[in-house]
Amino acid sequence: MCPTEPSPSVVHKEATGPDAGGAPDVSGAPAPVVSGEPVQVSDGVHVIPDRRVELVPNVGLVVGERAALIVDTGMGPRNGAHVLRQARRLAGQRHLYLTVTHFHPEHGFGAQAFKGAATIVYNRGQRDELHRKGAAYLEMFRGLSPAIAAELEDVELVDPDLVYDGQAEINLGGHTAVLRPVGPAHTAADQVVLVDDRVLFGGDLLETRIFPITPYFPPHDTDVDPHRWISVLDQLGALAPEVVVPGHGEVTDASLIGDVRDYLTYVRDEAGRLRATGVSADEAATAIDSDARARWSTWERPEWISSAARAFYDAAPAD
């Protein structure tokens, strides 16, 4: 690990980001509460499942002989505190590390519960993206529903204790976690965590039976890179993990990587084809949305199809 000194622990910078009008309607969803106990998915690796609750992530807990690593926190201080309690239950008094797959509120805005209790580790791009966008995303998420706003009450945007460049390897004692930046893709600074070359935490690069979340909100936030996302999935597939923990949805195997890649490739190809025929972005998005809903009829959150189509359409090279 190549740490550098972080900025002050609470971020107060102006940020750019979408408003609530750019996101799917989740006003009727249940409160985004991380609950339940960790489930072991591999030796030393546990997951608090999301139970397919909107805006609840799969939370990882990797316990070694000397230390433990938490991957993602849930949204807000209450969820962060629950995750910390579960980590302590599994790890006892072992040293704790915390990292997040990306800066989005449901993945990292519970980090304040870990201040002083764990060493918080982000890559430089994650830290910088939190500075640029964290405040705006906090306000946007608060506007999604009263239940979400309640979880985000009194949130502090917490900087890491350690910032790394390249990649970081954490020896937990008997288990090794490699933190690897792979963005831009879903966000500008996505990070995956590979444990013992067997278990992959993919964050929102991967969802099980959920249309990939493409936060494309022009002109506010256009950092999603759909073309590179496909390339990243190729890299992850080459790792051949035995267990894949998606950002949302059930824990599964490496076949999920191919499933998500197939969908994104379809949207890419259709957006490029329709753009070449001269149809507008709106027309292309409507056509792709209709066809994708039929092709992937068992997947949830089809509201994200049109934003993926527009991201690919706008990123397509001009003729």
The pLDDT tens digits of the residues spanning 70-120 come to 999 999 999 999 999 999 999 999 999 999 999 999 999 999 999 999 999
pLDDT on residue 28:
85
Longest Cα–Cα distance of the chain, Å, equals 62
Question: Residue 82: which of 61, 53, 55, 103 has the closest Cα?
Answer: 61
**What pLDDT is recorded for position 26?**
86
Asked if the structure places residue 309 within a domain, the reply is no
pLDDT in tens, 230-256: 999 999 999 999 999 999 999 999 999
In a domain, 110, yes or no: yes
Instruction: Flag whether 223 is in a domain.
Output: yes
Residues found in the chain: 319
Q: Which amino acid is at 264?
A: L
pLDDT tens column, 29-84: 899 999 999 999 999 999 999 999 999 999 999 999 999 999 999 999 999 999 99
Query: Does residue 294 fall inside a structural domain?
Result: no
Q: Which of 317, 315, 145, 114 is nearest to 216 (CA)?
A: 315
Sign of CA dihedral 122, 128, 131, 135: negative
CATH code, domain carrying 146? 3.60.15.10
Residues 17, 215: contact at Cβ < 8 Å?
no
Q: Give the mean pLDDT of the chain.
A: 92
Task: Calculate what percentage of the chain has a pLDDT beyond 90.
Answer: 88
Q: Within a domain: residue 204?
A: yes
* Structural domain harbouring 236: 20-253
CB 109, CB 138: distance < 8 Å = yes
Lowest mean pLDDT among 12-26, 149-163, 190-204, 220-234: 12-26
Residue 314 covered by a domain: no
Q: Which two tokens stand for residue 68?
A: 């433990």
Query: Which of 208, 245, 215, 213 is CA-nearest to residue 58?
Result: 245
pLDDT digits (tens, 9 = 90+) for 290-314: 999 999 999 999 999 999 999 999 9
Residue 272 inside a domain? The answer is: no
Domain count, the chain: 1
Residue 76 lies in a domain: yes
- Give the burial string for 171-185 (b: 16+ CB within 10 Å, else e): ebeebbbebbbbbbb
